[in-house]
């Protein structure tokens, strides 16, 4: 799957292509992300002037690439995907902020409510 989620309106073809390439990245099982993946996310975020993120499955495969606006990242609706009661979903969220700000209250709510 190479579909981009979120606010993709107005993205240049080059930015879209860079973001879609993130789906090809693989993350080792013992890592949250690789330096190459982080660099790709940061470059795409800087070029688009938007927050971007990737949801990485515990197997290391990138399941979702998400584009936000300059202030926040809206995660897609997962429904009941991998949502057993009392368990984590097995997804890791790696996302950028544009101005070096800390985690926002929205970020923390996403992590808790979605059990990431």
pLDDT of residue 82 exceeding 90: no
Helix (H) or strand (E) holding 64: strand 62-67
pLDDT of residue 84 exceeding 70: no
pTM for this prediction = 0.83
CB 16 within 8 A of CB 4: yes
Task: Specify the DSSP class assigned to residue 100.
Answer: -
Q: What percent of the chain has pLDDT over 70?
A: 86
pLDDT class of 2 with cuts at 50, 70, 90 = confident
pLDDT class of 110 with cuts at 50, 70, 90 = confident
What residues have CB less than 8 Å from 87, skipping those under 6 apart? 115
pLDDT class of 5 with cuts at 50, 70, 90 = very high
pLDDT class of 86 with cuts at 50, 70, 90 = low
CB 108 within 8 A of CB 115: no
pLDDT digits (tens, 9 = 90+) for 21-67: 999 999 999 899 999 999 999 999 999 999 999 999 889 999 999 99
| Radius of gyration of the chain measured on its C-alpha atoms | 14
């Amino acid at each position: 799957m190479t579909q981009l989620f979120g606010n993709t309106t107005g993205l240049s073809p080059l930015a879209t292509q860079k973001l879609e390439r993130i789906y090809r990245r693989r993350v080792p099982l013992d890592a949250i992300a690789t330096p190459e993946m982080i660099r790709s996310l940061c470059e795409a975020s800087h070029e688009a002037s938007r927050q971007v993120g990737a949801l990485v499955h515990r197997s290391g495969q990138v399941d979702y690439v998400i584009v936000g606006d300059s202030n926040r990242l809206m995660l897609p609706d997962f429904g009941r995907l991998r949502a057993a009661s009392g368990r984590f979903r097995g997804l890791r969220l790696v996302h950028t902020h544009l101005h070096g700000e800390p985690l926002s209250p929205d970020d923390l709510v996403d992590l808790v409510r979605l059990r990431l």
